[in-house]
């Protein structure tokens, strides 16, 4: 065999595996891994800052933990006992405290629960190599847990040893810590990898908490949503993005996300708004807060801040649109279409009454120019975003773990849509003088978004920053997916026909098999088992809309995770599980509180639909990781032959 093409690769590989024995051992190890069941993937979308529900769904694995309990104890424990065990795994510390109040003999309770958790942990770990299991174990209890889940209790020689470990743990007061460690390990083993299909930010009150949770997760990827891109732009210092972030936070009564969650000083905005809009009731800027979750004594000030930053936003966006005629967004230039003396605005050639004609900072001769005070305010706010260490850490994580789309195990994941024309063909979008469509559009956009945050060259960085705003709201953006964003009209015009935001034709074509096939092939996925997993547009379940389309080849998993959408959707979101047996779609009930979940054992997993059941159980060999392992095996086999034929000399 001629090894010239592989000689360099093989010699590098030989440094890691210097002889026949080590090479053969690695081949055996990798080949055996290929036969293991594929790990479970968990898909979530459109979290929108609902941190408590998000944390709970992660803990229960969209029903995966409960299914594992039922498999192990379905014929042994009652429904109530299985529910208690599930709650213990979700919230071990809180459940232990509750048990301490209700239980006379805690040692007996610890003994029972530790034994049950060990059985679940052993079952959940069975699809992984011992090496992977060992790496996943918490440092403080790695030895104990490994002994408990690998030991054989059915062996008389080991039973006493096994029992003594547990009794000693209880006797020395370490049972609570062991239960917590086992619960965390179970959650980690039950779900091997997490996909977030966009929109972690906006509307809900805890996106920063969601980000902290994700940064602690053992294996995650993120497909950016339009709201994520908006915050990424704000963190980069793009002022129109900053204004949008502030407007959203004010609108939903969530300015404390920025003040308390991120430590960004909003006092300059408060002072400006209370001065400029002191006599203005700001009636068009009512807040969309949830009862019991917002301090209404702040409402007046928040309305004024809401209006102040909205007016600034419209000015900044107007500057952007005028600076970039290639964005083709002239229809969004509306400040210069207002006649404040008449109290009207002209939209698409038609005149409408304005609901609010008070614009004290607007110069009719230069409507898109910030006043001196507005410019000073935005400079302070920009510095606050740029110098916020926590926000920058979160956004760097989004860039590191995220992308506009992802091909993973024969599935295509993206947040919004692949922009199409009315005839179903791929829509061409102009980006700085070049036209792109399909996959090329995603790739070009993503390159510019990364430049907007990381570029050293000032011109390239500024163009990238403006592209972050473009991606947030331009009709050609795949994560926006609409013809326009009618923010101005929703505030100032009563006629609801002006509020309409027509969807991209993708949403009329995605039920067709030929469309789904064309999109998948565009992204290099030609397997008959390939599918699209999509977020962004809420599925209105209460109107009979279905998340599974095109015979299961396209699945939409935005079903109202955000409480703001739940009256419209009728449920609290869809999540998706892809395990070695197929796809399971879970519809969730609204999450009430952690306290109720602990007290009553209530769960928000309400219904599961089998999307696809595979004829043959999927193994690691069927995954992207499996393909890489198979390639490594081929290289190692070539190295083995090189040793045996003398082309490379062993180092023994």
Q: What is the pLDDT of residues 165-200, one digit of tens each?
A: 999 999 999 999 999 999 999 999 999 999 999 999
> Taking the domains of the chain in order of start, what are their residue ranges?
7-36+623-645, 41-197+535-618, 207-473
Q: How confident is the model at residue 155 (pLDDT cuts 50, 70, 90)?
A: low
Q: How confident is the model at residue 293 (pLDDT cuts 50, 70, 90)?
A: confident
Is pLDDT of 367 > 90?
yes
Secondary-structure percent of the chain, ordered helix, strand, coil, rounded to 5: 55, 10, 35
Is pLDDT of 607 > 60?
no
Return the bridge partners of 223, or none. 403
What tokens appear for 525 in the block? 């996925």
Can you tell me which residue has the tokens 């679940």?
120
pLDDT at residue 188 in the model: 92
pLDDT at residue 271 in the model: 98
Please, are residues 227 and 234 in contact by the beta-carbon 8 Å criterion? no
Q: How confident is the model at residue 140 (pLDDT cuts 50, 70, 90)?
A: confident
If you average pLDDT over residues 254-282, what whole number do you get?
A: 96
Whole-prediction pTM: 0.93
pLDDT at residue 567 in the model: 63
Strand blocks (E) in 491-581: 531-534, 548-549, 554-556, 574-579
The tens digit of pLDDT for each residue in 353-363 reads 999 999 999 99
> What percent of the chain has pLDDT above 90?
73
Least-confidence region, from 176-190, 206-220, 372-386, 607-621: 607-621
Least-confidence region, from 29-38, 466-475, 594-603, 619-628: 594-603
Dump the DSSP string for 491-509: HH---GGGG--PBPTHHHH
pLDDT at residue 585 in the model: 86
Please, are residues 50 and 563 in contact by the beta-carbon 8 Å criterion? yes
- Average pLDDT of the chain? 91
Alpha-helical regions (H) of 126-206: 130-136, 142-150, 156-171, 175-190
pLDDT at residue 551 in the model: 85
Alpha-helical regions (H) of 172-237: 175-190, 207-216, 226-236
Distance separating alpha carbons of residues 116 and 639, to the nearest angstrom: 46
Q: How close are the terminal C-alpha atoms of the chain, in Å? A: 24
Can you tell me which residue has the tokens 């732009």?
233
If you average pLDDT over residues 616-622, what whole number do you get?
A: 92
Please, are residues 293 and 205 in contact by the beta-carbon 8 Å criterion? yes
What tokens appear for 582 in the block? 């197929």
pLDDT at residue 116 in the model: 95
pLDDT at residue 633 in the model: 96
Give per-residue burial for 418-454: e unless 16+ CB within 10 Å, then b. bbbeeeeebbebebeeeebbbbbbbebbbebbbbbbe
Least-confidence region, from 1-10, 238-247, 350-359: 1-10
Is pLDDT of 528 > 70?
yes
Please, are residues 49 and 573 in contact by the beta-carbon 8 Å criterion? no
**Phi, then psi, of 436 in degrees rounded to 5:** -135, 155
Is pLDDT of 604 > 60?
no
**Which DSSP category does 550 fall into?**
G
pLDDT at residue 3 in the model: 45
Phi/psi-derived region of residue 544, left when phi > 0, alpha when psi is between -120 and 50, beta in every other case? left
pLDDT at residue 1 in the model: 43
Nearest to 222 by CA among 395, 437, 474, 61: 395
State the greatest distance between any 2 C-alpha atoms of the chain, in Å, as a whole number: 94
Number of residues in the chain: 652
The tens digit of pLDDT for each residue in 544-578 reads 677 888 888 999 887 566 666 566 655 567 889 99
Is pLDDT of 161 > 70?
yes
Please, are residues 563 and 586 in contact by the beta-carbon 8 Å criterion? no
The tens digit of pLDDT for each residue in 62-103 reads 888 989 999 999 889 999 999 999 999 999 999 999 999 989
Number of CB atoms found within 10 A of residue 5's CB:
8
Please, are residues 404 and 224 in contact by the beta-carbon 8 Å criterion? yes
pLDDT at residue 290 in the model: 75
pLDDT at residue 609 in the model: 62
**Phi, then psi, of 608 in degrees rounded to 5:** -130, 135
């Amino acid at each position: 065999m001629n090894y010239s093409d592989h000689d360099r690769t093989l010699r590098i590989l030989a440094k890691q595996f210097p002889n026949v024995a080590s090479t053969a051992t690695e081949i055996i190890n990798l080949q055996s891994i290929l036969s293991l069941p594929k790990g479970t993937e968990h898909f979530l979308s459109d979290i929108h800052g609902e941190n408590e529900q998000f944390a709970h769904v992660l803990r229960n694995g969209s029903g995966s933990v409960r299914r594992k309990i039922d498999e192990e104890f379905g014929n042994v424990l009652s429904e109530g006992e299985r529910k208690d065990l599930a709650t213990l795994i979700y919230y071990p510390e809180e459940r232990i405290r509750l048990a301490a109040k209700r239980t006379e003999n805690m040692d007996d309770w610890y003994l029972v629960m530790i034994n049950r958790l060990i059985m679940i942990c052993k079952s959940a770990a069975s699809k992984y190599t011992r090496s992977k299991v060992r790496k996943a174990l918490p440092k403080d209890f790695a030895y104990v847990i490994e002994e408990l889940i690998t030991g054989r209790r059915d062996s008389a020689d080991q039973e006493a040893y096994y029992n003594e470990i547990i009794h000693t743990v209880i006797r020395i007061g370490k049972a609570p810590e062991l239960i917590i460690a086992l619960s965390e390990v179970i959650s980690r083993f039950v779900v091997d990898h997490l996909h977030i299909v966009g929109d972690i930010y906006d509307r809900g009150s805890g996106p920063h908490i969601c980000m902290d949770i994700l940064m602690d997760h053992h294996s995650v990827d993120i497909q950016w949503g339009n709201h994520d891109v908006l915050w990424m732009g704000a963190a980069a210092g793009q002022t129109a993005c900053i204004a949008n972030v502030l407007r959203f936070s004010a609108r939903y009564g969530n300015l404390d996300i920025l003040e308390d969650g991120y430590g960004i000083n909003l006092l300059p905005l408060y002072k400006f708004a209370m001065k400029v809009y002191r006599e203005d009731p700001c009636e068009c800027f009512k807040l969309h807060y949830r009862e019991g979750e917002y301090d209404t004594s702040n409402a007046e000030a928040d309305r004024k801040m809401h209006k102040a930053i909205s007016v600034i936003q419209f000015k900044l966006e107007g500057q952007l649109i005028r600076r970039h005629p290639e964005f083709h967004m002239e229809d969004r230039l509306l400040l210069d279409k207002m006649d404040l003396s008449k109290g009207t605005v002209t939209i698409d050639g038609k005149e409408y009454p304005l609901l609010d004609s008070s614009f004290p900072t607007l110069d009719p001769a230069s409507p898109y120019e910030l006043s001196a005070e507005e410019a000073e305010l935005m400079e302070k706010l920009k510095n606050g975003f740029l110098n916020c260490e926590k926000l920058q850490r979160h956004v760097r994580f989004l860039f590191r773990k995220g992308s506009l789309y992802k091909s993973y195990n024969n599935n295509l994941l993206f947040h919004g849509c692949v922009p199409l024309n009315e005839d179903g063909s791929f829509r061409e979008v102009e980006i700085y003088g070049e036209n792109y469509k399909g996959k090329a559009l995603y790739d070009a956009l993503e390159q510019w978004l990364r430049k907007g945050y990381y570029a050293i060259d000032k011109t390239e960085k500024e163009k990238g920053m403006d592209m972050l705003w473009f991606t947030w709201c331009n009709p050609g953006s795949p994560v926006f997916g609409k013809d326009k964003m009618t923010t101005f009209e929703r505030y100032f015009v009563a006629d609801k026909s002006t509020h309409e935001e027509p969807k991209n034709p993708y949403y009329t074509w995605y039920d067709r098999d030929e469309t789904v096939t064309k999109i998948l092939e565009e992204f290099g996925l030609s397997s008959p088992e390939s599918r699209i997993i999509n977020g962004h547009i809420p599925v209105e379940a209460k109107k009979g809309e279905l998340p599974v389309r095109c015979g299961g080849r396209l699945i939409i998993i935005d079903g109202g995770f955000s409480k703001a959408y739940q009256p419209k959707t009728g449920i609290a979101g869809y999540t998706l599980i892809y395990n070695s047996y197929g796809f399971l779609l879970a519809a969730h009930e609204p999450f009430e509180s952690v306290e109720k979940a602990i007290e009553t054992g209530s769960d928000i997993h309400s219904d599961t639909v089998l999307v696809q059941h595979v004829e043959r159980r999927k193994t690691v060999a069927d995954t992207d990781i499996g393909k890489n392992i198979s390639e490594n095996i081929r290289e190692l086999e070539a190295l083995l032959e090189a040793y045996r034929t003398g082309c490379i000399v062993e180092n023994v």
